[in-house]
Structure 1
Amino acid sequence: MSTLPIATPRQVRRAAVALVRADGRAFAAVLALNAAAALLGLAGPWLLGRIIDLVAAGATTADVDRLGLLLLGCAVVQILTGRQARYLAHRFGERSAAAVREQLLDRVLALPAATAERAGTGDLTARGTADSTAVGETLRDAAPELFVAGAQILFILGAILTVSPLLGGCGLIGILGIVLGARWYLRRSRPAYLADRAANAGLAETLSATANGARTVDALGLRQQRLAAGRAAVAAAYRTRMRTLDLRLRFFAAINLSYTVPTVLVLPLGAVLVAHHTVTLGAAVSTALYLQRLVDPLDNVVILLESLQSSTAAYARVEGLAAAPATVPAQARAGGAEPADGRIEVRGVHHAYPDGPDVLHGLDLELTPGERLAVVGPSGSGKSTLGRLLAGVDRPRSGSVTVGGVPLADLSPDRLRRQVVLVTQEHHVFLGTLRDNLRIAAPGADDAALAAALDAVGWQHDLPAGLDTELGPAATRLDGARAQQVALARVILADPHTLVLDEATALLDPATARHTERALAATLAGRTVIAIAHRLHTAHDADRVAVLTHGRLTDLGPHEDLLAARGSYAALWHTWQGPDGGRGPESG
């Protein structure tokens, strides 16, 4: 399994800045309102200190009442301003989170099929769910709160130093401790949180594989092996989670100590300075209140910093998909050449999967438009690999696979799917109606065209509401055979120039499979069809048969000619026919 890229801190910062710029006015309004709310919050301690000094100087009740009303007014305006700031911040966060999710979806859909397959469902699922959710929550909640807390800290420190620089220095000592603790934490937390999220993705992959293969697990008695794999994945997730917890506990301990230092210093020092008339009693009280008020935003920053590290790791995984190879290669993005015709040529192809030996060895093959080619051979001979290359899913390690003189793997998705479509026994029924599932291949198709496509693949199933029947686990569930027929009907609607069938009718019974294959051939007359033949009657019906043995093309020609040659194909055919002339074992 390959690991999808992880964005660097610089790339994450660049992506975050781009999000802010995309909604710059809203972000500026959030900052302005938060700054106003923070400034209004400074009025309380300062006014209270003024009241104390006025009372000590013998001021009248009217003077005190006037400052008291001003204090009340500032508090009310601060509440209203802060409320509006949080409202705008949440709207900004939700819009930004939606942009992140849409961008993630675009990037996932742009991944080459081979890359997505090797990445595994666990990693992609974790990035699209838990990771993107964490990023969205941070943009909606943590980021605005962090701006608020940061502004409050700066303004409060400024007020403390203005009221009494000497006493304000005590507050700076506490800040210094927090800064040192944060530096220690930040150096260690990012790799720890990345490891935590990777372990969670691995756990999701293990659980998903076990759940999807439940029948295989039961049939082959693999319960203990899957339990062991599950326990190992849980243990790995537990270790990484405990590492992040340990870092948080150490960090919070240092922060709590930093909170107590300013108060411990200010109270006795303030008493001494008041006694020596260096500062007024009101200034000492205001400074103490400011320092006490400093604890809340500092506490918020510490908590948000921990949350921010977790979400930054999540954002690094989400943004990492930007560095993944895209389906559309550079040649296609630059407007590469269109295929001159539908002729497919395979020249000197060698291909291997990552970290494995070559599966195909120097393959040469040419298909003329409209030809029906059957590819047969023993299990593991490279038939499916050749099908993936002919469909442009994979790029050969060396050699070339071209259509009309243009490499298949260099075509954009739209151009590629106009040329060739690969259909395997793996299929997917999307949530929605039967009509929605069919129109994926032809958005403009009317009901008559949809019905004709279903008829062509032998659809004989009465659904509760016909084309309007809702499909899915909570609605009408299609069995494997019916889902495969839906997939084949999509192929007819897509009307590709070339069709690659790899066990596309494997879930159908033999009679229905043969009828469906012949119906497809009639419906797609004039189209090139490459059938990976696991039932050799497919080879019998083909124009030519290609025999693969250990990744090499050993026989190529019409069915009757190959039988007469008494080579590897004849051996396969006679084995499949069996001693009684009936249908024997299938080609693997």
Structure 2
Amino acid sequence: MKRELGYGIEALRNRSALKLALWSIPEILPTAVYGVAVARATDSFLAGHAWQGIAWLGGLVATACLGAAGAHQVYGRLGELVEPLRDDLVRRVVGAALRTGDPAAVARLNRQVEIVRDTFAGLVLVVRGFAVTLVGVLAGLLSLAPAIAGFVIPPFLLGFLASLAVLGLAADRVRASLQADEDLATTAGMTFSGVRDITATGTEEFAEHLTGRPIKAQAAAERALARVAALRTVCFAIGGWAPLLILLAAGPWLVGRGVSTGTLLGGLTYVLVGLQPALNTVMGALGDSGLRYVVTLSRILSVQAVPDRSLRTKTPPESSIRTHGLTFAYGPAAEPVIDGLDLTVAEGEHLAVVGPSGIGKSTLAGLICGMLEPSHGQVLIGGVPASDVSPRTRALIPQEAYVFSATVMENLNYLLPDASPSEVQQAIDAVGSGALVDRLGGLQAQVKPHDLSAGERQLIALTRAYLSPAPLIVLDEATCFLDPDAERRAEEAFATRGGTLIVIAHRISSARRARKILVMDGNRATLGTHTSLLSSSPLYQELQGHWQPTESRQIQPAS
């Protein structure tokens, strides 16, 4: 907790925090005055001095206007204080995600950063308001009647301290809630990415069970948080309502000892208008927002502090691929999508993977690229386990290519930021995206992803992958929206680029351009050339019959 509090204190060490504190001072005056003003106005009215009572109320209104002016300035300074903190957290989360490949980074960026930003802003406001109210009320009560302060302050502090004692229990509940949120995000992401394989293998019930457990865990964590909220209600009853009841019960005794009716009413006003709302707000902030701030920030800073994964991963000397007994299933009770696959792809080789839709081709691509962990067996890239290989050695282009809002150049050199203009132009010419770049307005033109067709997005992603330093390229139906000629040019460019190329084939032409073809049939696989598979693989013969025969006649088998 010291680290998280220290991070917040560090964020407060700037000119905006000082300005916020200075503009809080005008609010102390109306807080200190309103109880006294009510007391004096009430006594004046009861004594028949109406104008004197009105003057006291007028003074109260004037001080309230002064406090409102200060509050208006406070919110402006708050934005200057909070937004830099959010920007710093976003940089930390994105940097950690790029280094570690953490699948829970999406939950951290989409939800947890916003939790820290919002709760930090709320805590600043609440603590500031609580301090202003407490100082003002104490000053007012002591100037009004010290005896009333003796009845009000002890139960108020008792309730406040009791709420602090509940924070330890509440912290555990918040941590459980955040962990359940991340577990659910990770499980749902894994399930959605394998929906085609789940449908193909009939494992919908297992997928439902797999996602159901984190959903139930998250629901249980939220119910536990609700029980902690009930305990805070008890603490508020002690600190917020007990002073009021005690003061009412002691009223006759106080009046008998010279305390006026107006003074007693002023004390009640301080409790109802000042202490009770302030205690309710600060308890809610510390017991809910405060814990969320500490626990959530702890998770962000802990992940950010993990050593750079690139320092622990290895860059293989070459990009050959070998699998030994590779088996993968979406859960322990599910049928394997890939079962005992032994495969060798030499450095610089071009392999096409074919098979019916949903048979597991994308699953194999995910295993090769280290996005999935094998159930059994292993994948070796250059003799190094795929999970230990640096992500920079592989580039995977899926069917739905990713293009972001930025310049054409920023989209193309994303994987090689220091690429020279000549290198970028060479990649454009090789892949065949020159006409698209010209249509968009050149390398410095802004890209609007929603204005591009699926094929145009694929061309940009293919050029980006070609330009990358990755020696292993995996194209998972990455040319399916291109016409046959554009697809041929792109695949031939990658085949002559150097390094190893894996193509999840969409057309027979893609398969025939490869030196080796892997036919996936259920959880079995057959490796061969186009000619050998025509005689040995009935599935390959059937697949070729579904592809365009005219296209087949135009493509000569690779030697």
What TM-score do you get using the length of structure 1 for normalisation?
0.66
Secondary structure at 2:12 match in 1: helix
Match of 1:48 among 35, 38, 48: 38
In the alignment, is residue 170 of structure 1 matched against residue 151 of structure 2?
A: yes
> CA, structure 1 residues 52+219, in 2 after alignment: closer, same or farther (shift >3 Å)?
same
> 5 Å matches for 1:434-445?
435=408, 436-441=410-415
In the alignment, is residue 251 of structure 1 matched against residue 253 of structure 2?
A: no
Q: What is the CA distance between 1:501 and its match in structure 2?
A: 2.7
Q: What is aligned with 2:452?
A: 476
Q: Distance in 1 between matches of 2:57 and 2:503?
A: 90
Match of 1:74 among 38, 45, 63: 63
Contact 1:423–1:501 (Cα < 8 Å) also in 2: yes
Q: Distance in 2 between matches of 1:264 and 1:576?
A: 90
Q: Distance in 2 between matches of 1:534 and 1:90?
A: 50
Contact 2:369–2:396 (Cα < 8 Å) also in 1: no
> 5 Å matches for 1:152-231?
152-231=133-212
Contact 1:93–1:141 (Cα < 8 Å) also in 2: no
Q: What is the CA distance between 1:448 and its match in structure 2?
A: 9.2
Identical counterparts, % of pairs: 16
Match of 2:499 among 499, 514, 529: 529
Q: What is aligned with 2:462?
A: 488
Q: What is the CA distance between 1:249 and its match in structure 2?
A: 1.8
In the alignment, is residue 499 of structure 1 matched against residue 471 of structure 2?
A: yes
Q: Distance in 2 between matches of 1:344 and 1:207?
A: 34
Equivalenced residue count is 496
Q: Distance in 2 between matches of 1:176 and 1:124?
A: 41
Q: What is aligned with 2:17?
A: 27
Q: Distance in 1 between matches of 2:174 and 2:527?
A: 59
Q: What is the CA distance between 1:241 and its match in structure 2?
A: 0.8
Secondary structure at 1:85 match in 2: helix
Tell me the alpha carbon deviations over residues 161-208 of structure 1, each in whole angstroms, 9 at most, x when there is no partner.
Answer: 453333212222322342343134211111211211222233333444
Q: What is the CA distance between 1:254 and its match in structure 2?
A: 3.4
Secondary structure at 2:166 match in 1: helix
Q: Distance in 2 between matches of 1:204 and 1:426?
A: 23
Contact 1:506–1:513 (Cα < 8 Å) also in 2: no
Q: What is aligned with 1:406?
A: none
Match of 1:97 among 61, 67, 86: 86
Q: Distance in 2 between matches of 1:107 and 1:159?
A: 51
> 5 Å matches for 1:18-417?
18-21=10-13, 24-52=14-42, 64=53, 66-108=55-97, 110-112=98-100, 115-116=101-102, 119=103, 123-277=104-258, 279-292=259-272, 293-305=274-286, 306-327=288-309, 329=311, 372=348
What TM-score do you get using the length of structure 2 for normalisation?
0.69
Secondary structure at 1:111 match in 2: helix
Q: Where in structure 2 are there 5+ consecutive unaligned residues?
A: 328-345, 354-359, 371-377, 506-510, 517-525, 544-559
Secondary structure at 1:501 match in 2: strand
Q: Distance in 2 between matches of 1:578 and 1:458?
A: 35
Match of 1:11 among 3, 6, 13: 3
Cα RMSD for the two superposed structures? 5.3
Q: What is aligned with 1:359?
A: none
Contact 1:375–1:539 (Cα < 8 Å) also in 2: yes
Contact 1:163–1:283 (Cα < 8 Å) also in 2: yes
> CA, structure 1 residues 578+47, in 2 after alignment: closer, same or farther (shift >3 Å)?
same
Secondary structure at 2:454 match in 1: coil
Q: Where in structure 1 are there 5+ consecutive unaligned residues?
A: 1-8, 333-338, 354-366, 390-396, 403-408, 542-568
Q: Distance in 2 between matches of 1:71 and 1:163?
A: 15
Q: What is the CA distance between 1:15 and its match in structure 2?
A: 1.8
Secondary structure at 1:440 match in 2: coil
